[in-house]
Amino acid sequence: MNWPSSEGFDFGEFRGTQERRMGTAPQSDKDTNWVESIPNAPLIREQLRRLVAHPLFTNSKRYPVLLSYTVEQTLLGNANELKERTIGVEAFGREPDYDVNLDPVVRMAAAEVRKRLSQYYYNPDHTRELVIELPVGSYIPSFRDPPAPLTGLAVEPSLGEKAEAAPHGSVSGSLPQANAEPPYVRFVAGRWMPIAIGLLVAAFIGFAVGRTKLPTQHADQPTDLERFWAPIAATSSRVTYCLGEPTEAVDLQVKTVEDGSLNLYDVVTLARSIVPLVPRNGEFRVLAASATGFAQLREGPFVLIGAFDNPWTLRITQDLPFGFEYDTRTRKVVDRKSNRFWTLRWEVPNSKLAEDYAVVARIHDKVTGQPVIVLAGILGEGTEAASEVVFNPVYLNELLEKAPKNWDKLNLEAVIQTHVIEGHPGPPTVVAVTTW
């Protein structure tokens, strides 16, 4: 199959081609009811046309093809046939016996389509449009009506109220005061969340409280670490931690927890970022990115962990001075003001990482109306290095030396570099800081 041009993807021609190839083109008026197998099929196709005509898709060859193919096959009643090999053969012209491990074109394209769909629907201009999604772990798209308009901010639950049941794919808990016995964390784990998270977080917090000097709320003057975390730690609302989920081949090469659903570097970052809540009697929940909705982020402050495995990070940072971009096969941190960028350095291509970069952000997000902290590396090693900056006062001070004195009243972003040795990130180095 020849790739459609990036400027002239013809949706109608593509649809007709797929019908003829699959033998599903209607032969008479009596056969036209095949489009009724899914409600609102015409509206879905209309929305698909909007998507593939948007710059997020028109500048690519693969992404509109994969999105259109999966949507069309679902509407044609062939959703059960949407497997990686079938898509590779039918949509991308691969040979029937091609090696999906050596040529992960479908997985890579699907992951990028998910991210671009997230970016598209994050734009307030598209909030009233029908939603097309490609769920993580599946090539079968889902369709849903646009969310009802928000009438106001979500009511923030008080600490004395009974916490609502955690949604599927989440972990929720609360932290007691840290002036007595070492704190514990009570988890209600969803199916996807390994119990190892609870053990690691509890152990990490116990170690941190017992062996390090955490900021206390009785100090006459707040430390820089306290000031940095104040928008999150001082809130009376429940804090949401949103973790990425590895999906692409390069993500799955890193250390994972149990079944690979979580990046171990992200879990370490989670543990470090929960520690500042200990002396604040903080209430929190941990959600997978796929289980996190916009309404949940409206409820209170949130922390985003991971970049390319976390669509929410890509959404929140897409218009910030420092953010993330994916150019063909190159992931990078970009400086949108000066057109600089930083990317991975490998000792052995795609297998032995030598250098990673990350973004640390402390902002007030205008779309959700909530304070946000972002700890996100290109890969997991960078994410862990970013967490060390906001956990260790020594590295945080290095960052703040490059910021104005009133940084705590501003939005702040920094780019972090770390050298990676045998899979472990080294000390973080601050390479750029901006405030606004």
What pLDDT score does 358 carry?
A: 97
Per the model's pLDDT, the better-predicted residue between 285 and 1 turns out to be 285
The predicted-structure confidence for 284-312, as pLDDT tens digits, reads as follows 888 888 888 888 899 999 999 999 889 89
pLDDT at 18 over 70: no
Contact call for residues 372 and 365 (beta carbons, < 8 A): yes
Among candidate residues 414, 381, 380, the one with its CA nearest the CA of residue 398: 414
Q: How confident is the model at residue 210 (pLDDT cuts 50, 70, 90)?
A: very low
Among candidate residues 101, 84, 97, 98, the one with its CA nearest the CA of residue 137: 84
Q: How confident is the model at residue 217 (pLDDT cuts 50, 70, 90)?
A: very low
What pLDDT score does 8 carry?
A: 45
Alpha helices in 310-428 (DSSP H): 311-317, 380-389, 393-400
Contact call for residues 418 and 426 (beta carbons, < 8 A): yes
Instruction: Show the CA angle centred on residue 193, arms to residues 189 and 198, nearest 5°.
Output: 65
The predicted-structure confidence for 137-173, as pLDDT tens digits, reads as follows 789 999 988 766 544 434 333 333 333 444 444 555 5
Least confident window among 30-44, 107-121, 128-142, 259-273: 30-44
pLDDT at 39 over 60: yes
Contact call for residues 364 and 436 (beta carbons, < 8 A): no
Least confident window among 21-30, 179-188, 220-229, 391-400: 179-188
pLDDT at 116 over 70: yes
CA gap 264, 381 in Å, rounded: 10
Residues in CB range of 271: below 8 A, 6 or more apart: 200, 201, 203, 204, 205
Alpha helices in 212-263 (DSSP H): 224-233, 249-252
pTM for the predicted model, two decimal places: 0.60
Least confident window among 22-26, 261-265, 369-373, 376-380: 22-26
What pLDDT score does 30 carry?
A: 37
- The structure tokens 């201009």 sit at 125
What pLDDT score does 398 carry?
A: 94
